[in-house]
Structure formats: C-alpha cells, structure tokens
Chain A
Amino acid sequence: MKISTLIIGFILVSSIFLTACQQTTTQDEITQPRITETPEEEAVAEDVELIAEDEVDIGEMI
C-alpha cells in the first residue's frame, strides 16, 4: 500500500515537472526569435544645434 502511494506520488510529480518543461520550451520558441534581427541605422545628418528662448537664466530679484 505504501509503495503504491509512493509510485502514484512520483508519477504526479513527474508529470507536473514534464508539463512545466514543455511549457518553458514553447514559451522560449515564442519569445526568442531564431535569428536576431537588429535594425540597421545609417546616420545621414549631424545633430541640429537649435537654441531655445530660455537658455539663459539669472534668477529673480524678488
């Protein structure tokens, strides 16, 4: 009786573990693309040096 309870427990734990493993694999396949696609950027213009109207601040008299 004790042995059968042990075996049933073992089977249950195994099935939970195996199911978890399967789910992890499926998740990995979904979230990780097989080929990493890195967007390529070509810089064609230098940064613009725009000046805002409030570049100089000297504080308030009161």
Chain B
Amino acid sequence: MKKMMSILIGLLLVLSVFATAETDTGANVDETEQPEAVLLANEDTAEEETTASTEEVDEEDEGETEDEEDDIEEIEEEYEESETGDEIIDEIEDEEETDGEIEEELEINEEESAEIREAIENIGLRQYILNRQLKQRVFVATIHGEAIILYLQGKEYDTTELEGINDELKEIYKAIDPKTMTKEEFNETVGEVKELVQEFKDAVDELVPEEEKDAIRNRIAAYVRTHQKQIDLLLKKEWKARMLNNRKQLRDSLKAVKEDAKQLRMDGRKLLDAAKRLRNLKAIKNRYKNGTIDATEIKQKWQEETKLYGLARAASVVKNERALLAIGAARIRKAIKEADEDDEDTTELENRLAEINAQIKDFIPGKVTSKEAGAKAAVIKSRLVNLEKNERLTNRIQAARANVAPRAAAKQIQNARVSSAIARRGAAASANTGASEGDEE
C-alpha cells in the first residue's frame, strides 16, 4: 500500500515538473528578444560581447544566419524588381483634363456653362445640382397630377381639391431658379413640396378605390410619354451639371494622390505597392467616365482605395529605407565572403553583420512608422558604415564600388532625366490649370 502511494506521489511530482518546464520555455520566448534601443545604445559593448561569444556559435545559429542573409537578399531582389511608379504617374498626367475639356466632352454649351458658373459663384455647384433635381422632380409630379386629374374627370369624380394642389405645385415649379436657390430655400421648398404631394396622394386615396389605381398608373405612363421631351431636357441639364461636378471631384482627388506619389519619387523613393493603388484609382475614375459605375458605388470604392493608398504609401517609405539598408548589408556580406575565401578569420564580422541583418529584417511597416523610418535607418546605417571601416573589408568594398561606379553613374543620369521630366510636366500642368482658371474668370 505504502509502495503504491509513493509511486503515485512520485508520478505526480514528475508530471508537475514536466508541466512547469514546458510553461517556462513558452514564457521565455519574449525574454530572448532584446529591445532595439539597447542593441543600438550599447554598440561597443555588444561588439565585445559578440567577440567573446564567437566560440559559442553552434550549427543552429549558423543556419539562422544563413536564413537571415537569404532574407536580406530577397529584400534587395524584391526592391530591384518592384515598380518605381513613374509609369502610372505619367499615365495619370497624360489623362488629366482641364475644366474646359470636361465641359466640352459633356457637351455643355456656352449658355449652360455661363449658368453653371453663375451658380458656382452664388450657391456652389452641389446646391445647383440639387436645385435642378428638385425642379425636375416637381415637374414630373405636376405631369402625374394632370394625368390623374384627367382620368378622374373622365370618370366624373370631383377633382377640385386635386386641381388646387397641382396648381400650387406648378407655381412652385415656376418659382424654382436652380442657379440662385439657396440651401435654406431649397430645404423649405422640399418640405412644402413633400407636404403637397402627400396631400394629393391622400385625396386620391379617399376618392379612388384601390383596384382602380392600376388603370390610373397606366394612364400616367402614357401621359408622361407625351411630355418626355420636356422631362428629358430637365434630366439632361441636371446630368451634365452632376457629371461635371463628380468628374472634377475625382480628377482633383486623383491629382492630389498623384502629387503625393510624385513627391515620393522626387525624394528618390520607389512607390512599390502604392503604384498599384494609384493604378486602381485611375481605373475607377475611368469607369465613372465611361458610365460603368454610379456615384454611390464609386464613392465607397474611392474611399477604400485612397485609404489603401495611404497605407501603401506609409509602408513604401519604410520599405525603401529597408531596401537601401539591405543593399548596404549585401555589399558587406560579399566582402566578408571574399575575405573568407582568402582564408581570413571572418567569424566576428559575420556575427556583427548577422546582428545588423536581424535589425533590417525587423525593419518593417507596422514595427517602424514612416515618420521614424529615416532616423531609425540612420542608426542601422551607422552600424553598417562602422563595419565597412573594418580593415578586412574596406579595400574589398572600395574595389566593388569602383566596379559598379559606371553603372551607378548611368543610373544617376537616368534618374535625373526622370526627375526633370516629372518637374517639366508638373510645371506644364500648373500652367494649364492657371490658364483654365483664368478662362473661368
């Protein structure tokens, strides 16, 4: 009995020890992570410690280092292959339309253009469009009213009340001047019209049984057809103004995003994923122009894409800095490899580079913000520069630089050409906008 008990207690103890050990391993994962600030602040100490711990490097660590080096190479390659964004910037600039060009495409004649300009000065384009929508709706309501009254008169109903309401609606229609009606007047009129329409509807409900209403609706449809020209004219005027407003809004919004992208390029950064977002925005704008998407749908898509551009833009700032660091690290890695092939002891250098590589690998959007990217990259870069100063590497790196210098010079010339082309286009676009604004005035 006693034996059995001691076996069981023993088993229990073993189980508890095993479980505690497992939990500790899990918890210690965080502790192994050293804050970046500590690594950077204790540069010299870290170097000394690295030397001391050199002998302790086992096979597993070597494997990790190689993995990190591969990752750094991947960052470098990915960056080299990714798009600069110049192409999409150029495309957007080529497609950019002036106010005059949009008006011409929408077939807005001089008289309409003058009315729109007057409205913009008085009440703004948005209010003008709402006024035009209201005028068109009231006109259609009076046509429906007439059709209903005519039908009911044919059936010898008393239509005095309905005629009175419809006359009031006609008066309101005449009084609406789309280019001068203010927001307050608009709201007041809408309230008044809604009340009259409801009154008319209630009066019809009192007079006519439900089963007769389908016949009235058919009569309305036929009557509307006889007034289709007037309705279409009102609709067309509203459509032109609305399209002008929406297309100008999209053009200006895309222009703002493009200018931001251009600034990134001017600062020598690639757009990376932000280029894709810019391309999507351009596609959405063109879909609206072609009439394959309506304003409600486009508004949502536009908000989503501009938000995604903002995210991609911030990420690209960080990724650009990271890529430049990766390029620097790759140069040092090559020099270390050469030294190793010449039978020099490179263990310490490899360890120092591995530390820097780990920091570069950790230099990602989300962990580093676009605002702090420059400063943080400068700290890592100073570590790279320090490493480059090592006597085993300096000559090798200089020799490698001398080899790539002609290529770099050619690239620099190309970049300068791109920048000046962008600047020229920017100046031309400003001149165009200035001219179109002048025209408007």
Contacts and interface: CB of A to CB of B under 8 A. Distances in A.
B181 to A, nearest CB: 12
A29 B198 CA distance: 63
What is the interface residue range for chain A against chain B? 35 or more
B190 A58 contact: yes
Contacts of A50: 245-246, 249-250, 295, 298-299, 302
A51 B253 contact: no
Contacts of B369: 40
Interface in B301-338: 302-303, 306-307, 309-311, 313-315
Given A10-B12, A44-B309, A56 B216 contact: no
A56 B190 contact: yes
B216 to A, nearest CB: 6
A18 B17 CA distance: 11
Contact residues of B: prevailing secondary structure: helix
Contact of B26 (A7, A10, A14, A25): A25
Contacts of A29: 26, 29
Given A29-B26, A59-B197, A35 B302 contact: no
B198 A59 contact: yes
A37 B254 CA distance: 29
B188 interface: no
B365 A39 contact: yes
Contact of B23 (A21, A39, A55, A59): A21
B295 A52 contact: yes
Chain B interface bracket (under 10, 10 to 19, 20 to 34, 35 or more): 35 or more
A44 B197 contact: no
A42 B314 CA distance: 6
The majority secondary structure among interface residues of chain A is loop
Contacts of B141: 58, 61
Contact of A11 (B12, B213, B253): B12
Contact of A62 (B19, B217, B306, B314): B217
Contact of A58 (B138, B242, B260): B138
B404 interface: no
B72 interface: no
B133 A56 contact: yes
Interface stretch (B3-11, B81-89, B379-387): B3-11
B417 interface: no
A24 B250 CA distance: 51
A14 B366 contact: no
A26 interface: yes
Contacts of A55: 129-130, 133
Contact of B294 (A14, A41, A52, A62): A52
A17 to B, nearest CB: 9
B144 interface: yes
Contacts of A35: 367
Contacts of A53: 133, 238-239, 242, 294-295
Contacts of A60: 144, 197, 201
A11 B15 contact: yes
A37 to B, nearest CB: 3
B365 A40 contact: yes
B301 to A, nearest CB: 11
Given A3-B5, A11-B15, A50-B249, A40 B256 contact: no
Contact of A44 (B134, B220, B313): B313
Contacts of B257: 44-45
Nearest to A61: B144
B396 interface: no
Nearest to B217: A62
B194 A59 contact: yes
6 contacts: A22-B19, A25-B26, A40-B366, A55-B130, A56-B133, A61-B204
Given A3-B5, A46-B253, 16 more contacts: A18-B19, A22-B22, A25-B26, A37-B367, A42-B311, A42-B370, A44-B260, A48-B250, A50-B299, A52-B295, A52-B296, A56-B137, A56-B190, A58-B141, A59-B197, A60-B197
